[in-house]
A and B are shown apart, each in its own frame.
Chain A
C-alpha cells in the first residue's frame, strides 16, 4: 500500500522546466533520499508536495487522497510535515511557542470559545501545553522552553525545527538538507537522530541531502535528479556505481 504516490509530476517556472516527470512510490516506513546537483529541482518537489506551488502537470496521492490543489495547511493537517534547508523557526517567539503553533491543526476549539474562555478552550490549551513540553523534553529542549528561539545555538535550533515538525503529528516527514552546515561528529548524531525518530514516531521519511555520508548511511532507496529529470534510482550501492550519476556530480564528492 503506497503512502505517497507521485506520477508525471512536472512543473514550469515561466520558461524553465524545474521538475520533469517526477515519479515516486513511497511505502510506509521507508526512508528514501533525493539527491542531485544544486538547482536540480529537489526543493521544488517538496514545495509541490506541500502545496506551496500547484504543479503544472502530474498526480500526487497521499494515503489515497489527492494532494494537488490542496492549500498548504491542509496538506500539513493531513499528515505531512517538513523542515527547511535554512532553519525557518519563528525567531522572536519562544521555544515552547514554536512547538505550540505547530499544534494549530490538532487543537479543536472555536474562536468564540477562546474569546470567552470556555471549558473546551481551557482543556485543549492545557493539553497543548503539556504535550508540547513533553515533546521538548524528548528532544532535550524542555529547559529552554521560555527562551527566545533565535538565541539557541545552531544545533539546538535544528532539533527544535524537527521537534516542531513532529508536533503536527505527521505520518510523512520531509527533511530538506538537515545536515547543512554540520561537522562530521554532528552528522553522525543527525543520522542516529533521524533513524531514532523514524522508529519512535512510526514515520516515513523523504530526505533531500547533499552530504553523501548521510545519504549512503541511512537511505534505503535513492533518486537522483539533474535539471529536473530523474537520471537514476536504486539502492545506495547501485547509485554509487552509476556512471551517469558520477558525471552529473562532476567535480563534487561522490563518496
Chain B
C-alpha cells in the first residue's frame, strides 16, 4: 500500500482524526449508552451487509443463509476469549479472537463454494438455507458449548472504537477486492457465467474467493456481536437474521459499497426508531418484526435495485478507475499500432 497520493493521505488523516472521537464520545457521556449501542449495531450491520452484498449483489448469487457464518464467527471468537485465552490478556487478544472467528467462518464458506460449482439459482439458495439450519442444529446439539441454552461469559470487549476500526478494515478490503481482476471476474460471473469461463476467467477460483471472503467478513461481525451481547445462542442466527441481512442489502442497493452503508444504517436506525414510536403510540413491540419482511417484499416488487442501484459512490472508486482517468490514459497512448479496417462494422 502506498500513501504517496495526496488524496490517500488526506483520507487517512480524516479517518485517524475521527478515531479519538470513538473513544471520547461514549466515555464522556456526550452520547448516551443507548446511542453508543445503536452506533455499534450500525457498524456491525454494515459489515454484514457488505459481506452478503459480495455474494448476492456483485456475484448475483443466492445466499439466503448467511447468518450461519455469523454464528460460526460468534461462537469461535467467544470460545477463544472465554476458555482459551487467559482472561488478563482478554482485551489485547480480542482482535485475534475476532480474526480467528472470521477464519473459521471463511473455512465454512468453502462448504457453500464447492456446491456452487455445479449448482446455481434456486437450488443454491436452498443449499445455503439448509446450511444455515444445519449449523443451527449442530450448535444446538453440542452441549459442551451450551446447546440450545447458548454460550455466555464473554466480556463486553466490543467498543465503538473496535467497531469503527473493523468497519474501516472491511470497507478497505472489500473495495480492494472489487477493483481487481477478481472483482471483475465476480461481475462477469453475474453477467454470464459460461461466457466468463470462455474468456479465461477461472470461475471456480473466483467463486471460492468470493464465498470465503464473504463468510470471513460475516464471521468478523459475529465475533463483535458476541462480545457486545455477552451471550449468544443458536436462535440468534436463524433465517430471521439472514432476512435482516437480505433487507439491508436490497434496501441499500446491490453491487454497491455505498449502498451497503446506506442500507445498513437506514435499516438499523429505522428499527430503533420504531421501538420508540411504538412505545409512544402504545402498540406492542412485536409489530416491529413485521416491518422487515414487509419492506423486503415491497422492495422486491417496486425497487429491487435498492437505493443505489448498481452505482457506486465516487469515494469508493479508486482514482485510476474513474472514467476521467481512463479517458486521460487513452489520450496519452501512442496511436502506434496499426488499426483494423474501418467501416460501419
Q: Which residues of A contact B (CB under 8 A)?
A: 50, 52, 71-73, 76-77, 81-82, 84, 88-93, 96-97, 100-107, 109, 111, 114-118, 121-122, 125-126, 128-130, 133-134, 137-140, 142-143, 145-146, 155-156, 158-159, 164-165, 167-168, 182, 185-186, 189-190, 192-193, 196-197, 200
List 12 A–B pairs whose Cβ atoms lie within 8 Å, in order of A's numbering.
A88-B195, A90-B187, A96-B326, A104-B200, A109-B181, A114-B177, A125-B180, A129-B326, A137-B337, A146-B326, A193-B340, A200-B338
- Whether the Cβ atoms of B339 and A138 lie closer than 8 Å is yes
- Whether the Cβ atoms of B196 and A158 lie closer than 8 Å is no
- Whether the Cβ atoms of B180 and A121 lie closer than 8 Å is yes
Q: Which residues of B contact A (CB under 8 A)?
A: 1-2, 173, 176-177, 180-182, 184-185, 187-188, 191-192, 194-204, 209, 213, 310, 320, 323, 326-327, 329-330, 333, 335-345
- Whether the Cβ atoms of B337 and A73 lie closer than 8 Å is no
A93 and B342 in contact (CB under 8 A), knowing A107-B181, A134-B333?
Answer: no
> Considering the chains assembled together, what is the distance between the CA atoms of A107 and B200 in angstroms?
11
A117 and B181 in contact (CB under 8 A), knowing A93-B191, A133-B330, A186-B343?
Answer: no
> Considering the chains assembled together, what is the distance between the CA atoms of A139 and B176 in angstroms?
30
- Whether the Cβ atoms of A133 and B199 lie closer than 8 Å is no
Residues of the A chain whose Cβ atoms lie less than 8 Å from the Cβ of B200 = 73, 76-77, 102-106, 168
Shortest CB-to-CB span from B178 to chain A, Å, is 10
Cβ 8 A contact of A101, one of B199, B339, B340: B199
Residues of the B chain whose Cβ atoms lie less than 8 Å from the Cβ of A117 = 1-2, 176
Residues of the B chain whose Cβ atoms lie less than 8 Å from the Cβ of A190 = 345
- Whether the Cβ atoms of A138 and B340 lie closer than 8 Å is yes
> Most chain-B Cβ atoms within 10 A of its Cβ — which of A81, A84, A115?
A115
- Whether the Cβ atoms of B343 and A90 lie closer than 8 Å is no
> Considering the chains assembled together, what is the distance between the CA atoms of A190 and B330 in angstroms?
26
Cβ 8 A contact of B176, one of A114, A133, A192, A200: A114
- Whether the Cβ atoms of A155 and B192 lie closer than 8 Å is no
Shortest CB-to-CB span from B274 to chain A, Å, is 35
Shortest CB-to-CB span from A52 to chain B, Å, is 7
> Considering the chains assembled together, what is the distance between the CA atoms of A158 and B345 in angstroms?
8
- Whether the Cβ atoms of A100 and B198 lie closer than 8 Å is no
- Whether the Cβ atoms of A115 and B340 lie closer than 8 Å is no
Shortest CB-to-CB span from B41 to chain A, Å, is 26
> Considering the chains assembled together, what is the distance between the CA atoms of A77 and B204 in angstroms?
14
Residues of the A chain whose Cβ atoms lie less than 8 Å from the Cβ of B188 = 90, 93, 101
> Considering the chains assembled together, what is the distance between the CA atoms of A107 and B337 in angstroms?
22
Residues of the B chain whose Cβ atoms lie less than 8 Å from the Cβ of A88 = 192, 194-195, 198
Residues of the A chain whose Cβ atoms lie less than 8 Å from the Cβ of B333 = 130, 133-134, 137, 142
Cβ 8 A contact of B345, one of A50, A104, A189: A189
- Whether the Cβ atoms of B341 and A192 lie closer than 8 Å is yes
> Considering the chains assembled together, what is the distance between the CA atoms of A84 and B197 in angstroms?
13
Nearest A residue to B187, CB-CB: A93
Residues of the A chain whose Cβ atoms lie less than 8 Å from the Cβ of B337 = 134, 137-138
Shortest CB-to-CB span from A135 to chain B, Å, is 9
> Considering the chains assembled together, what is the distance between the CA atoms of A190 and B340 in angstroms?
11
Shortest CB-to-CB span from B109 to chain A, Å, is 14
Nearest A residue to B325, CB-CB: A129
Residues of the B chain whose Cβ atoms lie less than 8 Å from the Cβ of A100 = 181, 184
> Considering the chains assembled together, what is the distance between the CA atoms of A97 and B323 in angstroms?
12
Cβ 8 A contact of B201, one of A73, A92, A196: A73
A140 and B184 in contact (CB under 8 A), knowing A76-B198, A102-B200, A168-B199?
Answer: no
> Considering the chains assembled together, what is the distance between the CA atoms of A156 and B344 in angstroms?
8
Given A50-B198, A104-B202, A114-B180, 20 additional A-B pairs, CB 8 A: A72-B198, A77-B200, A90-B196, A104-B181, A104-B184, A104-B185, A104-B201, A111-B182, A111-B213, A115-B177, A121-B180, A125-B180, A125-B320, A129-B326, A138-B337, A138-B340, A146-B327, A155-B344, A159-B345, A185-B343
- Whether the Cβ atoms of A196 and B341 lie closer than 8 Å is yes
- Whether the Cβ atoms of B182 and A114 lie closer than 8 Å is yes
- Whether the Cβ atoms of B195 and A140 lie closer than 8 Å is no
- Whether the Cβ atoms of A140 and B342 lie closer than 8 Å is yes
- Whether the Cβ atoms of A130 and B345 lie closer than 8 Å is no
- Whether the Cβ atoms of A197 and B340 lie closer than 8 Å is yes
- Whether the Cβ atoms of B182 and A84 lie closer than 8 Å is no
> Considering the chains assembled together, what is the distance between the CA atoms of A189 and B201 in angstroms?
30
Cβ 8 A contact of B343, one of A77, A125, A189: A189
Nearest B residue to A183, CB-CB: B344
- Whether the Cβ atoms of B184 and A105 lie closer than 8 Å is no
